[in-house]
Amino acid sequence: MLAARRRRGRSLAVTAGLVLAALVQLAAPTSVAAAPVTSYQAVAGQNWTGFCSDKNFNTLPFYSKEVVSYEGAQQGFDICYATFGSKFIGFSWYAKQTYAVACYFDPQDIPALPDGWASGRYDGEAEAPIAGAWFEPGVTCYSIRAVSNCSARVVAAVDRTFAAANSSAAIALAQSAYGLAGSVVSALPIGKNVSMGLVDLDRKSIHWRVKLDTLISEEKAKLVDKVTQAQSSLDASSWSSNTRFQPLLKGVSNKLASDSNIPSYLLLVSDGLLHDAESWVNLSNLKQGMIRRLGDTAPQILCLQMSGAETTPYFEAVCDKIFYEGVTEDLVAAIASTICNA
């Protein structure tokens, strides 16, 4: 889970565990008849990967039930609508070893628990409406009442090399960095209006894991799969104190700015330590050159300082806004808000 929210990390991890338990430790699967509904209302809303949450990533109250098969989002909507009518504000699917649907409610308007359903634990501070999800692979949250006007092109550039005590610690930091990228994917309304690319930053090279202007860049579930694959591909090469960042200010920034009608953002998740410790001056010059070259279409560079709250000369030179691990309480919410509410 996210290492970036340390002050609440333990309580959220416990919450996520309890939520998972509530979803998988249910009665034997049953066949649920779905009442016909005119249309799937969540099409007008949003979906995220994880458990439905409010804007502060507090899990909302829900009731859950196992089903024998998964037939798509319409089925989940129909089950919740047939059981709870207009009381529910969203739903989620859990699809790992078993299938379970969960129906979410406004904490101020929770209906009685029906027979055959399990009550899920939720954060007492949660408030409607659904505004995101607490990231959890295998769980998809759908909001039926939220509509987003967000429009953006985003590239998450994830540093795969960290200065640490040993290779295991470095890999853990890189996994945490990808976990943050996955949570940002979950928090944003990925689709036609908000596309997101993913770049791996190695010691001396970069690699486009997901390119902008591809189908995957507009499909949340596939983006999350790519993040998970990136986490599993890490090895001892992550144990390094230096990374090469120059290509971000040239080719990557050019790609982001290629559509002048849409705001663009480069999200850099890193410890900010350079391949050449003295090259931050050159990178500062590259940043100014990028601005001169691209003008108003130049992407805004958002930086997340991993492994501590002290900035580096590189971040000070090139970042338009810096988020610090362990300092910003609602880190992912703050990043998503910066992108969608600029």
- Position 283 scores a pLDDT of 80
Over range 291-305, report the average pLDDT. Answer: 92
**Whole-number Å distance between alpha carbons of 262 and 149:** 12
Over range 93-107, report the average pLDDT. Answer: 86
Does 224 have pLDDT greater than 70? yes
- Position 69 scores a pLDDT of 83
- Position 307 scores a pLDDT of 63
CA dihedral 248, 173, 220, 300 (to 10 degrees): -30
- Positive/negative CA dihedral, 26, 31, 35, 36: positive
**Whole-number Å distance between alpha carbons of 129 and 12:** 19
Over range 79-97, report the average pLDDT. Answer: 85
- Position 210 scores a pLDDT of 96
- Position 37 scores a pLDDT of 33
Long-range contacts of 323-331, Cβ-Cβ distance < 8 Å, separation of 24 or more: 325/3, 325/4, 325/6, 326/4, 326/6, 326/7, 328/4, 329/5, 329/7, 329/8, 330/5, 330/55, 330/56, 330/57, 331/2, 331/4, 331/5, 331/180, 331/304
Angle at 148 between CA 146 and CA 150, to 5 degrees: 160
- Position 314 scores a pLDDT of 78
Percent of the chain at pLDDT > 70 equals: 78
Pick the more confident residue, 205 or 217: 217
- Position 262 scores a pLDDT of 93
pLDDT digits 0-9 by tens, 17-40: 433 344 333 333 332 332 333 333
Interacting residues of 323 by C-beta distance below 8 A, sequence separation 6+: 302, 303, 304, 305, 331, 334, 335
Nearest to residue 228, comparing CAs of 305, 331, 130, 139? 139
**Whole-number Å distance between alpha carbons of 182 and 196:** 11
Over range 233-239, report the average pLDDT. Answer: 79
3-state secondary structure of 257: coil
- Position 218 scores a pLDDT of 92
Over range 230-253, report the average pLDDT. Answer: 78
Over range 104-123, report the average pLDDT. Answer: 90
- Position 3 scores a pLDDT of 34
Highest mean pLDDT among 103-112, 143-152, 311-320: 103-112
> Domains of the chain by range and CATH?
6-143 (no CATH), 152-340 (3.40.50.410)
Q: What is the mean pLDDT of the chain?
A: 77
Lowest mean pLDDT among 1-10, 230-239, 311-320: 1-10
Cβ neighbourhood burial of 148 (10 Å; 0-12, 13-18, 19+): middle
pLDDT band at 298 (very low <50, low <70, confident <90, very high): very high
Over range 199-226, report the average pLDDT. Answer: 89
Question: Helices marked H in 199-330 — which ranges?
Answer: 220-232, 251-256, 280-294, 313-318
Does 291 have pLDDT greater than 60? yes
